């Protein structure tokens, strides 16, 4: 196990990033702990918590996932995908907005859902699961607003300055939406065991996580047609995250949470994106080796 942790640390170092990882075999509980209880900035990973709260609210009869909502172009949350970049008015159901929020990480779609769910419900959903280190402090639009405020009049170009990066509230877990790798793998495990909410809702959430379009982080570590990767990314200046579940054809399923901070403030760092998949693969391989060893021991007895 020490060799596994060293390989994970070396991979983060080689990529020029600091990283925190937790991986758990959903069925046996075996784990890999590489900073599992470190407080981390969730960024868009927190959309998973909103997705959970949305389905819990629907189960309780507080909203209808098929309800159609209007989303005007003025006032939409900023972002590079989905509703955030569309120019015309959009009419969409809540469940389809949830798809855009999850698969494309659409900030505007997330705000549509937050208007109906509310931060209190998001925090209640995670608290109910015992995720004591997970907290939504503000909306995704407000989080982005703090970056603009903290960057100052120079705007986005200032985010290349390490001194500006250091003062961003959005990068301080004490001041923004936060969690720990262990909390996130616990959330994922409860979703895959149909415990986070009703079985139909858990299945719907798993489906959306499996539709994520980004293959350059966790999925990059598992380039196999028969291995299924479902996950949710999160990104901010110097922050690249992903949490997800890896499912093998033999029934093995592993919840992984990887959170990183890069030393380089560049917006594009393929090596840091890739190390999320690399370290996740190292952790899963170790868990699978442990599972095989346990089976052999059981056979001997």
Q: Confidence band (pLDDT; 50, 70, 90) for 290?
A: confident
Of 269, 198, 282, 211, which Cα lies nearest the Cα of 239?
Answer: 269
Q: What is the mean pLDDT of residues 152-156?
A: 90
d(CA 32, CA 116): 37
Tell me, what's the pLDDT at 79? 86
Residue 2 is predicted with a pLDDT of 82
Confidence check: pLDDT of 4 > 70: yes
Checking if the pLDDT of 205 tops 90, the result is yes
Q: pLDDT digit string (tens) for 232-277?
A: 999 999 999 999 999 999 999 999 999 999 999 999 999 999 999 9
Instruction: Assign 299 a pLDDT band (cuts: 50, 70, 90).
Output: low
The β-bridge partners of 260 are 19, 240
| Mean pLDDT of the 119-147 span | 97
CA 159 to chain centroid: 23
- Which H/E stretch holds residue 24? strand 17-25
**What is the rounded average pLDDT for all residues in the chain?**
95
pLDDT of residue 8: 98
* CATH, residue 176: 3.40.710.10
The average pLDDT across 59-75 equals: 94
pLDDT at 1: 66
Predicted pLDDT of residue 297: 54
pLDDT at 300 over 90: no
**With 80 as the cut, is the pLDDT of residue 31 above it?**
yes
Q: What is the mean pLDDT of residues 160-185?
A: 96
Given this model, what pLDDT does residue 294 score?
A: 55
Strands (E) located in 112-252: 178-179, 228-236, 239-247
pLDDT of 296 reads 53
* CB contact at 8 A, 93 and 67: yes
Do the beta carbons of residue 260 and residue 17 sit within 8 Å? yes
Q: What is the pLDDT of residue 292?
A: 61
Task: Give the mean pLDDT of 89-102.
Answer: 97
Band of pLDDT at residue 56, cut at 50, 70 and 90 = very high
Residue tagged 């209190």 (tokens): 120
Query: Half-sphere exposure of 253 toward its Cβ, with a 13 Å CA cutoff?
Result: 18
pLDDT of amino acid 77: 87
Q: What is the pLDDT of residue 78?
A: 86
Size of the chain in residues: 301
Contacts of 56 by beta carbon, 8 Å cutoff, 6+ apart: 121, 125, 197, 201
Q: How confident is the model at residue 67 (pLDDT cuts 50, 70, 90)?
A: very high
- Tell me the torsion sign for CA atoms 59, 65, 69, 73: positive
pLDDT value for 215: 93
Instruction: Check residue 75 and give its pLDDT.
Output: 84
| Residue 203, domain extent | 2-300
Mean pLDDT of 172-177: 98
Beta bridge pairs of residue 18: 261
Residue 295 has pLDDT above 90, yes or no: no
- Into how many domains does the chain fold? 1
């Amino acid at each position: 196990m020490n060799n596994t942790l060293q390989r994970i640390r070396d991979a983060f170092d080689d990529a020029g990033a600091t990283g925190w990882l937790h991986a758990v075999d959903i069925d046996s509980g075996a784990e890999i702990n590489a900073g599992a209880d470190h407080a981390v900035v969730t960024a868009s990973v927190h959309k998973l918590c909103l997705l959970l709260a949305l389905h819990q609210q629907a189960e309780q009869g507080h909203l209808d996932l098929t309800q159609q909502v209007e989303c005007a172009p003025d006032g939409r949350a900023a972002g590079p995908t989905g509703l955030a970049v569309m120019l015309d008015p959009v009419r969409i159901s809540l469940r389809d907005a949830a798809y855009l929020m999850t698969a494309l990480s659409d900030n505007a779609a997330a705000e549509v859902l937050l208007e109906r769910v509310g931060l209190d419900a998001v925090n209640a959903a995670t608290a109910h699961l015992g995720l004591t280190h997970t907290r939504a402090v503000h909306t995704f639009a407000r989080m982005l607003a703090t970056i603009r405020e903290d960057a100052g009049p120079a705007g986005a170009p200032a985010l290349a300055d390490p001194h500006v990066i250091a003062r961003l509230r959005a990068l301080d877990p004490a001041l923004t939406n936060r969690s720990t790798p262990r909390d996130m793998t616990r959330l994922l495990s409860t979703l895959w065991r149909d415990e986070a909410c009703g079985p139909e809702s858990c299945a719907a959430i798993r489906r959306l996580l499996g539709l994520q379009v980004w293959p350059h982080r966790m999925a990059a570590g598992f380039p196999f047609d028969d291995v299924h990767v479902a996950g949710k990314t999160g990104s901010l200046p110097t922050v690249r995250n992903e949490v997800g579940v890896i499912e093998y054809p033999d029934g093995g399923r592993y919840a992984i949470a990887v959170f990183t901070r890069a030393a380089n403030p560049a917006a594009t760092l393929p090596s840091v994106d890739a190390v999320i998949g690399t370290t996740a693969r190292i952790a899963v391989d170790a868990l699978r080796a442990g599972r095989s060893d346990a089976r052999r021991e059981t056979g001997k007895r």
